[in-house]
A and B are shown apart, each in its own frame.
Chain A
Amino acid sequence: MDSMITAENLTKKFNGFTAVDHISFKVEKGEIFGFLGPNGAGKSTTIRMLCTLTKPTEGTAVVGGYDIIKQPEQVRKVIGLVAEKLILYPQLTAVENLKFFGKLYGLRGKQLEDRVKELLDMVLLTKFKDFPVGGYSSGMRQRLNIVRGLIHDPKIIFLDEPTAMLDPQSVQFIRDLIKNLKKNGKTIILTTHIMEEAELLSDKVGIIDHGKIIALDSPENLKRKYNCESLHEVFLELTGRTLRDSASNNMHIRVVRGF
């Protein structure tokens, strides 16, 4: 199997605080990689580095065959990002949003029209395609937000908490969508706090805590290894049962930038 992502000693420091500490891992082609960890463990920073949105302090990664430091433009062409914050303009309609981002990836004319139509059909939003996105329900918005990241048919898709705070119907729809993407040969990096979801979807999970990867295996192997009934139990076993902020004496809080 060829690796779609190879991270080597990936490190990010903010003003002396190490958010991500020399992590190395591989994600194989066609895999769903569940990237798990408590709040503030370093998940988002890792994803931002892999997406070329933040420069690593040390180490590097090869994403889709391209180095994130040396070939960021190439990396950007092969990845799709579905961030936790919606990447949608509320004043623009679904079509306008998708077309704008499609154009940034060089899609034009009929090719773009067809792709937009296909994606809107995929998430059942064709009916509402000409309404400004600001009026959408959370579920509709998230469905659109997901296909926005797929506009250029990327090989590698980053999904950052795609089902957070949605109703069960939307959650089910999105999980099916993710399974379909895998079926079509996409490589998916999924972060979530819902362990059932990670267990259900992931071929392999990586658990990160305090900037370090503390477990890296399939959900089945992890359950067996730690003798737990669910991934949820494994997670608590590994990262502790107390609240993160009360568990540690030197919990780092990044100062909200007032300057």
Chain B
Amino acid sequence: MNFSNNFKSSLDIAFKDLLYFWRMKMLFITFLMLPVILMFLFGFMFPTVGTSNIYSGKIASPYSNIPIGMVVEDGGELAHSVADQFKQLTSSTGLLKVKDFSSFEVAREKIVAGELKGVIVIPNGFTEALKSNRQAVIIVTMDDTSSQLAPAVYSQILTLFKMISNGVSASIIKNYGSIDASFMVEPIVVERKNLVAGTTSTFEFLAPGFMALNIVMGTLSGLAAAIAREKEQGTMDGILVAPVSSYAIITGKVLAQTIRGMVQAFIVLGISIAFFGVKVYGSFLLMLLIMFLGVSSFIGIGIIATTIAPEQETAMTLIMLLQIPSMFICNILFPIEQLPKWLQYIGKMMPLYYAADGLRKVIVLNANFNQITWDITVLLLYSIITLTIAIPLFRKALTR
């Protein structure tokens, strides 16, 4: 059997698999829905947030109208003026909904009851401290049981008081004469310039990771199902008994699944562009190359898992075992830096890490081939090594 015949057989097998998939209408629809649902879910979970700039009064936050209690213990006029300024700032930005309470204890009860997310206390002696040229203190208590929300809202409150504090110090300095007040308050100013020009979207960093995840995992579980199903049905015998090489069978199977995975990846990309403000800055061809290498780097692993598994469900579960952790340790959902060192090393041993990294660099940062050589090299090496092990194992396992 020569090369061209084998290649044709691969195409036939791929076409048959896709036709089969097309006929399984419910599976097909679910397959198309999956990336749509996933993208909208994560799109809203990680909303597009710009950058805060306290100097221009711009505050970016994914949250709005968070209920916060305010207790003004101090009777002085400055305490009330600070409280009023704070309320005004929050109501104009819509970030917080501030309600007054008579004491910290009453407000604390409300946190426990789940009605408030935090309490701001302006304690006794606030006005006096300012008047006698001492630092005045404001005490903030957050509902620490809301692990994601509490720190985010706390930092907003901090930013708001920083703005008020700057205003207060500027007015104090003015009394001393002609020096530039803003220079006195903050001689050094930090301004943030975005890595990518124009509006930044958090999602821009997430979308490429999801694309990588989708193609790699979609292909992997699709391949596992396609091989295991044929093994169980008995149709695999029909293919194995035909004069077709193992390479052609695997190539065909992989081709069909890769096309499926690519379709999903483009749905992910399309939704990201249409609804979440993602832009593709880099080369389309380079993007395809990484997607293709991402798939091929996982194929060997998929084949090994499928051929050693006795039936379909075991094969799928084996794949899941690989899939779920890699979502968390391959820099897809969370920054890998959050993880302990040893887990980071494991994450960096997974090809998915490099596929996501490469895609992210190409899509968001417009990286050229030279800038992602390392990603490409790792993926290529992975592909070669795993396929070298997997292909002989494939026929051996099926003809035991």
**A residues in contact (CB < 8 Å) with B:** 51-55, 73-74, 76-77, 79, 81, 83, 85-89, 91-92, 96, 100-101, 103-106, 132, 148, 256-259
Closest B residue, CB atoms, query A51: B241
Confirm or deny: B279 has a beta carbon within 8 angstroms of a beta carbon on chain A: no
Chain B residues near A81: list those with CB within 8 A. Answer: 237-238, 241
Q: Classify the secondary structure of A's interface with B.
A: loop
In-complex Cβ contact of A105 among B16, B19, B235, B243 (8 A): B243
Whether B12 and A53, one on each chain, are in contact in the complex, defined by CB atoms closer than 8 angstroms, is no
Within 8 Å CB of A100, what residues of B? 12, 16
Partner of B23, one of A54, A91, A104, A105: A91
Q: Are B238 and A87 in contact (CB under 8 A)?
A: yes
Q: Which residues of B contact A54 (CB under 8 A)?
A: 399-400
Task: Determine how close the nearest CB of chain B comes to the CB of A68; give it in whole angstroms.
Answer: 11
- Min CB gap A203→B, angstroms: 24
Identify B237's interface contact among A53, A92, A257, CB under 8 A.
Answer: A53
Contact flag A96-B242 (CB < 8 Å), given A73-B1, A104-B9, A258-B310: no
Given A91-B20, A91-B23, A106-B5: A101 in contact with B238 (beta carbons within 8 A):
yes
Chain B residue nearest in CB terms to A106 = B5
Is B244 in the interface zone, CB < 8 Å from A?
yes
Check A259 against B241 for contact (C-beta < 8 Å).
no
- Not counting A53-B399, A74-B243, A104-B242, a sample of 4 additional A-B residue pairs whose C-beta atoms are within 8 angstroms of each other reads A86-B233, A89-B235, A92-B20, A101-B238
Task: List the A side residues contacting B242 at CB < 8 Å.
Answer: 76, 101, 104-105
Q: A residues within 8 A CB of B234?
A: 83, 85-87
Residue of B with least CB distance to A52: B241
Which residues from chain B contact A83 at a C-beta distance below 8 Å? 234, 237-238
A-B contact pairs, 19 of them (CB 8 A): A55-B399, A73-B243, A81-B237, A81-B238, A86-B233, A86-B234, A87-B238, A89-B16, A91-B20, A91-B23, A96-B16, A104-B12, A104-B239, A104-B244, A105-B242, A105-B243, A106-B5, A132-B23, A148-B238
Interface string of B40-74 (1 = CB under 8 A from A): 00000000000000000000000000000000000
Is B24 close to A, CB under 8 A? yes
Give the distance in Å from the alpha carbon of A217 to the alpha carbon of B322 in the complex: 56
Q: Which residue of B lies closest to A81 (CB)?
A: B241
Cβ contact of A91, chosen from B24, B241, B244, cutoff 8 A = B24
- B322 to chain A minimum Cβ distance, whole angstroms, is 18
Counting CB contacts under 8 A, is B240 at the interface? yes
Q: Nearest Cβ in chain A — how far from B288, in angstroms?
A: 28
Which B-chain residue is minimally distant from A85 (CB atoms)? Answer: B234
Q: Considering the chains assembled together, what is the distance between the CA atoms of A81 and B236 in angstroms?
A: 12
Tell me if B8 counts as interface (CB < 8 A to partner A): yes
Listed from nearest, the 10 A-B pairs whose CB atoms lie closest are A85-B234, A87-B238, A91-B23, A104-B242, A257-B310, A76-B243, A103-B12, A81-B241, A100-B16, A77-B243
Bound CA–CA A18/B399 (angstroms): 17
Q: List, in ascending order, chain A residues with CB within 8 A of B12's CB.
A: 100, 103-104
